[in-house]
Amino acid sequence: MTQTQHGRTLVLAGTGKTGRRVVAKLRSRELPVRVGSRRGTPPFDWHDQTTWEPALHGVRSVYVAYHPDAGFPGAAQAVGSFSDLAVRCGVQRLVLLADRGAAEAERCEQAVRACGAEWTIVRTGFISQNFSEDVLTDAIKAGVVALPAGDVAEPFTDAEDIADVAAAALIEEGHTGETYEVTGPRLLTFTDAVAEIARQTGRTIRYVPVGKEQFATTLTEHGTPQRLARPLADLMAEVFDGRRAHLADGVHRALGRAPRDFTDYVRDAARTGVWTSA
């Protein structure tokens, strides 16, 4: 599929951490993009199937990012139903964002592989930008990051790498049938990661491992709905058991370059002032 033949791409969760970056990369190539979000035109809502078909009209490829996460209960059923509909609507290529190591995300992968479209799987773990574009931003500012992740190592993954791999799979040849595990270039514990943020911001910040019950309670106290807080706590407890504590070569295989290091992310984020206390 050449750039001229590519046609419109629908980017689901198109205003999220990875989706908005995929949108930007496609638009920089002057390719037609439809942002899939509840405020999009037309709107798209994973929890309202009446919005799916209008969003798929005239679309040839889709970045399938399930909100809130492919590891959440019910994700596989929704992704499977959407993928089957996409094929019936004429979509030729699907690129799925999957949660590395999560059982529900593996079922999402199976659904996409079975739908009949060209497919690529982009598996990722903890995204570095969670520290600067999510609820953890306030935790960094407060000086205490409490997560149910113990002392397990994680190859923190940059959202820019994820978006680069996804964009390549959407618009280039040679990625169909590939499963790319996208990780950073080294393993760090959350203690290591938080210490790096503290070093580059010149602040005192510490990481505190907590149980999933306490984490869910903290989320709800800070405004996260219970229907999201509990599954998120369960998901973190599931995947942070050591199963993701290894590196993968997805960035190099897809793009022919090394992945972005966590230190580079922290340096760039710190320069924006996002972690400066009020």
pLDDT in tens, the chain (278 residues): 444 356 899 999 999 999 999 999 999 999 999 999 999 999 999 999 999 999 999 999 999 999 999 999 999 999 999 999 999 999 999 999 999 999 999 999 999 999 999 999 999 999 999 999 988 999 999 999 999 999 999 999 999 999 999 999 999 999 999 999 999 999 999 999 999 999 999 999 999 999 999 999 998 988 889 999 999 999 999 999 999 999 999 999 999 999 999 999 999 999 999 999 75
Question: Would you say how long the chain is, in residues?
Answer: 278
| Yes or no: domain 3-125+158-183+246-259 corresponds to CATH 3.30.2010.10 | no
Q: What pLDDT is attached to residue 2?
A: 45
Q: Which of 136, 129, 135 is nearest to 163 (CA)?
A: 129
Q: What pLDDT is attached to residue 5?
A: 56
Q: What pLDDT is attached to residue 223?
A: 87
% of residues, the chain, pLDDT over 70: 97
CB 131 within 8 A of CB 271: no
Q: CA angle, 94 as apex, 93 and 96 as ends, to 5°? A: 160
Q: How far is CA 73 from the centre of its chain?
A: 16
CB atoms within 10 A of CB 191: 16
Question: What does pTM read for this prediction?
Answer: 0.95
